[in-house]
Amino acid sequence: MAPTFSFPKGGVHPPEAKAYTEHLTVEPLPLPDEIDLILSQHIGAPCVPTVAKKQEIGEGALVGTVEKGLGVPLHSPVSGTVKAVGNCVHPIRVSAPAITIKVDKEAAPIVWQQSSWEHLDAQALLGKIKDGGIIGIGGAGFPTHVKLKPPADAKIDTLILNGAECEPYITADHRTMVEQTDKIVEGARILLTVLGINTCVIAIETNKPDAIGAMSEAVAARPADGMDISVAALSVKYPTGSEKQLIQAITGRKVPAMALPSAVGVVVHNVSTTKAVYDAVVLDKPLLEKVVTVSGGGIERPANLLVKVGTRISDIASFCGGVNERCERVVLGGPMMGFAVSTLAVPITKTTSSILFLREDEIDTRPLSACIRCGWCLDACPMGLEPKEAGIYVEAGRAEDTAQFGVFDCFECGSCAFVCPAKRPLVQFIRLAKMKAKRS
Amino acid sequence: MWTVFGCLVPPLLLSVFVFGVQVLFIAAVSVLSCMAVEAASQKMLGRPLTYLDGSAALTGMLLAFVIPPGVPILMPALGAVMAIYIGKHLMGGLGYNIFNPALLARAFLLATFPVAMTSAWLPPITDGAIFTYLSGIDGMTTATPLAVLKDQGMAAFIERFGEPRDIYMSFFLGWRPGCIGETSGLLVVLGGLYLMYRRYITWHIPVSVIGSIAILTWIFGGESLFGGDPLLAVLSGGALLGAFYMATCYVTSPTMRSAQLVYGVGIGALTVLIRLKGGYPEGICYAILLMNPLSPVLDTWFKPKRFAPPLRGEQ
């Protein structure tokens, strides 16, 4: 047994609950009647629509552009007619600017032509990645081309592909690694070429032995390219897929607070993002669709689906046999970091990895009580923070004074709230603390 | 909290077996009156009613454990008012009390009813006892071993309770006079180990309290330096009960593991100081009460190690 990698401080072991979907092949979702493309798909400036109402558009057509602030273009994943350029429901902001498209189900799907990329230089490859609208689809949604252009003074030596997928339930990256193995390896070679480096580590948690096996075989079977690509097994512990924890586990380096991974010479990309990079560079295919895990005890037929960006949850739920009466809560994203949604009209975005339909026995709805200072959150926090103090300060109306407890280091993994015996919503407290502390 | 409560049931049952059935009445009065005072306090202060969450019941059980078995039945009820209403709810309620409520009530009762609290000891019932080798002891022994040791010295102690070697076993198993909960070191330790196994408590506080009591007694507790009896010191009085169940109280102890070690050593040192130089035979109750208010201070001195400092001195 090869050694496994892990991070030393904090972390928790929530029930994995991946058995629902980990062996299910990704199946394409039939085209829905309508889709909603939210113009702000990710961190950074929202897109400006380039289409007008009633305009006919083809699959892959540009529908939104943005030049400033970390923006990437937005493409239509379907052929159809623009029904409205207005608003749609948003999981967090309630309502958000969006383009609604009526889908033409009769249009022939585009066949994306393969082309070789080896002759292209880093600049040309970067251009293709940006024009393809590629962002980190593992969750955070940071534009991929920005990550690939580290500051001039940073000496990058290692690329890490994140296949940890440490959130319970989600198996989207897992299935992508098993089914699209060669494309991920090819994508890794593209990323290494763009970065001008040689070393790539593909990090996968040991609860996905088939993915580790498939990736190892594909890495070994690739043509001789002089690159040093390897697969590393991670111990199963949440949140080992967090960027800073992953870098520490693999390289032993600690990314300083408020700094990016490039400060320690590392760039991290998700494995599914790497597959999207392959699509954008080799097939000239923009980011149009997403593997989404539909899971939980509240849905009739859990599945891994290939879904067009903008598809509403209601269409996905009815394809999966509908929501059963025991479903208590619908969560967009994983159970640890995701958001509960109040309506199935919400469309998925480029960063949606899962939709969970959770039963009462899969969630905890007991009311919160006072903090008894047990200190379990201090043990669980991978960043060495004091969630309990931040929570007590927020409750006492002193959210502005919480910077001393390191709230800005918090990446909201939810480990503290998971272990809290008083069921305190510590992540929500810290979000509030960050907002108020930033303002003061 | 009901789990901790459950861990206290075996020592209680042994105490009933050793001292008689009135122990059960005292414990019941203590637990029920704590729950009643909790409900009344919450009603009065307009707080949500949580008297069934196990917190008040646990305080009641611990209160019964730190009073002698022969006290009048209303004393634990009075203690409950002190523990729950004044010690807990007037301090801000669950999570905000500075002092351990059960020990605060014991200190209050000790100051208010000094005679009952220091002389209402019952002798262990020896008829049909399984520990027949102790039957030579005077059946009317009514002073705690530590009090005899303190007031009359080692010779009287040995005359009363036998060679230390013999009494280790009887103390450990619970056959001796004392407060309701401090009879059997074995059952207290087993309960504490179970709480550690379930990860409700960690080793830091119990080990530092017991370790410092043992080491300091060994050094200073005898007629010459390094002549004390550490094992006797740990097994007698409420040392084990205090180390596993009182000092580990989440609310009144520091949260950082490093701070907990300092806190535990502080309790151990104060305990030995009071036992050897103070006016009381037993010191762990006051030692814990004296360290309780230092917990917030320790928590500001000991901070978790942040993942990595920011570059260039940014916040």
A83 Ramachandran zone, left/alpha/beta (phi>0; psi -120 to 50):
alpha
Whether B306 sits inside 8 A of A254 (CB atoms) is no
Tokens at B104, concatenated:
């605060």
**Short-list A111, A117, A77, A71, CA closest to A278:** A117
Q: Which chain A residue has the Cα nearest residue B200?
A: A374
Query: Which residues does residue A161 pair with via DSSP β-bridges, in sequence order?
Result: A202, A269
End-to-end CA distance of chain A: 52
Residues of chain B found within 8 Å of residue A386, distances taken between Cβ atoms:
255, 303-304
ipTM of the complex: 0.82
pLDDT at position B124: 66
CATH number of A4-21+113-282: 3.40.50.11540
pLDDT at position B134: 39
Q: pTM of the entire structure?
A: 0.87
Select from A373, A376, A379, A395 the residue whose CB has the most chain B CBs within 10 Å, as the one to mutate to test that interface: A373
Give the H/E segment covering residue B230: helix B230-235
Q: How many Å apart are CA B48 and CA B61, to the nearest integer?
A: 23
Cβ–Cβ contacts within 10 Å for residue B28, how many?
14
Q: How many Å apart are CA A131 and CA A65, to the nearest integer?
A: 10
Whether A372 sits inside 8 A of B250 (CB atoms) is yes
Give the H/E segment covering residue B234: helix B230-235
> What burial class does residue A27 get, using C-beta atoms within 10 Å of its C-beta: 0-12 exposed, 13-18 middle, 19+ buried?
exposed
Strand pairing class (A62-65; A48-49): antiparallel
Kindly list the domain boundaries of chain A, sorted by start residue: 4-21+113-282, 376-439
Q: Chain B contact for A370, CB < 8 A?
A: yes
Q: Chain B contact for A383, CB < 8 A?
A: yes
- Angle CA B84–B87–B90, to nearest 5: 90
Phi, psi at residue A184, to the nearest 5°?
Answer: -65, -40
pLDDT at position B43: 94
> What's the distance, CA A250 to chain centroid?
20
Residues of chain B found within 8 Å of residue A257, distances taken between Cβ atoms:
306-310, 314
Q: How many Å apart are CA A317 and CA A302, to the nearest integer?
A: 10
pLDDT at position A346: 93
Question: Please, what's the b/e burial string for A363-392 (b: 16 or more CB within 10 A of its CB; e: otherwise)?
Answer: eeeeeebbbbbbbbbbbbbbbbbbbbbbbb
**Short-list A193, A181, A169, A192, CA closest to A218:** A181
pLDDT at position B35: 96
Model confidence pLDDT, tens digit, residues A44-101:
788 899 999 999 999 999 999 987 778 889 999 999 999 999 888 887 778 889 999 9
Whether B311 sits inside 8 A of A374 (CB atoms) is no
Residues of chain B found within 8 Å of residue A384, distances taken between Cβ atoms:
304-307
Q: Chain A contact for B127, CB < 8 A?
A: no
pLDDT at position B133: 35
For chain A, which ranges sit under pLDDT 70? Answer: 1-2
Whether A256 sits inside 8 A of B311 (CB atoms) is yes
Residues of chain A found within 8 Å of residue B248, distances taken between Cβ atoms:
none
Q: Chain A contact for B304, CB < 8 A?
A: yes
Q: Chain B contact for A9, CB < 8 A?
A: yes
Q: Chain A contact for B311, CB < 8 A?
A: yes
pLDDT averaged over 10-residue windows placed end to end, chain B, 315 residues = 88 84 91 96 91 92 90 92 94 91 94 82 54 38 66 72 69 74 84 91 95 94 82 84 93 93 96 87 90 94 86 56
How far B250 CA sits from the closest chain A CA (Å)? Answer: 5
Whether A372 sits inside 8 A of B94 (CB atoms) is yes
Kindly list the domain boundaries of chain B, sorted by start residue: 2-119, 199-302
Tokens at A212, concatenated:
């580790």
pLDDT at position B130: 35
Residues of chain A found within 8 Å of residue B94, distances taken between Cβ atoms:
369-370, 372
Of A244, A263, A378, the CB nearest to B255: A378
Of A257, A369, A374, the CB nearest to B308: A257
Q: Chain A contact for B251, CB < 8 A?
A: yes
Tokens at B180, concatenated:
């309701």
- The count of CB pairs under 8 A between chains A and B is 69
Q: Return the biggest CA–CA distance within chain A.
A: 63
